[in-house]
Amino acid sequence: MKDSLVKIEKDDSKELRQGKFFETITKSSDEYSSYLARLDSKKLTRVKQSVSAIKSGVHASAPLVCLGPEKCPFVKRCPIPDMDVEGNLDFGPISNYPVGRECVMEKFFVEQKIIDYLQHLDVDPNDPVEMSIVNELALIDLYKNRSLMVLSQGDKKGDGRDFMMTDITGFNENGDRAETTKLHPIIEMIDRLEKRREKWLDKLVQTRKTKAEFMIKMGESNNNSRVLEEISRLREALYSIEAPEGAEEILLDD
């Protein structure tokens, strides 16, 4: 046992360092298995399914959890309720809604965004680095979509549709309230999301540039032109990306 440990410490190969790390994780998992063994089969299956969903990306964990039509702040944008001739929503039975699971609108929205980025940016789904960037871009689009819904229907107080919000700053001696109007913070959020999008797109370009430089250093001249051509196509694809300008463009009905 001691000899094997000495060998691992002396050998500086990447494979052995990875193996040592995997052993650490496995030991931690073994210690946790005693807890899992106490769970009934139904709960254990639910745990495994939850872990699998987390590993699959943002489309499984980022969407809002459905609270039902009575509690949802975005129910006016939900595709499930019907609308009568007077414009009133008919929620229908609660069984029509995926209560406790992902919002049906956001689930399909973020899934489609991931597919779009994979195809448009020519990303290999087996590349963990580029897939993490794709997930971030899809997440940004999801948050921007949510922000646009706030602007289109207003927040809890009804503010935001004109990009402004009103705060009560106090009351005078007559009991009249003093108010101030300022730019709604959701506008700043949208601006931050766009800057975040630019950062991740730049990281994707840098990732592929680094890959090309590594191949050059390794002497793989036959693949250099292909990788550099790939980076050139990526830049063209990035320049052609246009973020949605309004909430209407991202509704499921459209």
What pLDDT shows up at residue 37? 76
Record the tokens describing residue 176, joined without a space: 């009249």
CB 79 within 8 A of CB 69: no
Residue 53 phi, psi (nearest 5): -65, -40
Q: Give the Å distances, CA to CA, from 54 to 28, 45, 50, 58, 60.
A: 19, 14, 6, 8, 6
Closest residue by Cα to residue 145 from 115, 186, 117: 186
Q: In the structure encoding, which two tokens stand for residue 16, read together? A: 């052995």
Better-scored residue on pLDDT, 83 or 226: 83
The rounded mean pLDDT for the chain is: 78
User: Residues with Cβ < 8 Å from 115, sequence gap 6 or more?
Assistant: none
Helices (H), the chain: 2-10, 14-36, 41-55, 58-61, 104-120, 128-153, 185-217, 221-240
pLDDT bracket for residue 252 (50, 70, 90): very low
Q: Are the beta carbons of 30 and 22 closer than 8 angstroms?
A: no
In angstroms, the Cα distances linking 120 to 59, 124, 142, 237, 240 are: 18, 11, 18, 7, 10
Residue 17, pLDDT > 80, answer no
Dist CA 86 CA 9 (whole Å): 75
- Which range among 39-48, 145-154, 218-227, 234-243 shows the weakest confidence by mean pLDDT? 218-227
| Residue of higher predicted confidence among 238 and 67 | 67
List pLDDT tens digits, range 198-216: 999 898 888 888 877 777 7
Mind listing the pLDDT tens digit for each residue in 63-110?
A: 999 999 999 999 988 999 998 888 889 999 999 999 998 899 999 999
- pLDDT for the residue numbered 168: 74
Which pLDDT band, with edges at 50, 70 and 90, does 228 fall under?
Answer: low
Rounded to 10 deg, the angle between the 14-36 and 2-10 helix axes is: 130
Say if CB 153 and CB 77 are below 8 A apart: yes
pLDDT digits (tens, 9 = 90+) for 166-203: 877 777 777 677 778 889 999 999 999 999 999 998 98
Question: Is there a contact between 231 and 239 (Cβ–Cβ < 8 Å)?
Answer: no
**According to the model, what pLDDT value does residue 253 have?**
38
Q: What is the pLDDT of residues 126-168, one digit of tens each?
A: 888 888 999 999 999 999 999 999 999 888 888 888 888 887 7
Residue 8 has pLDDT above 50, yes or no: no
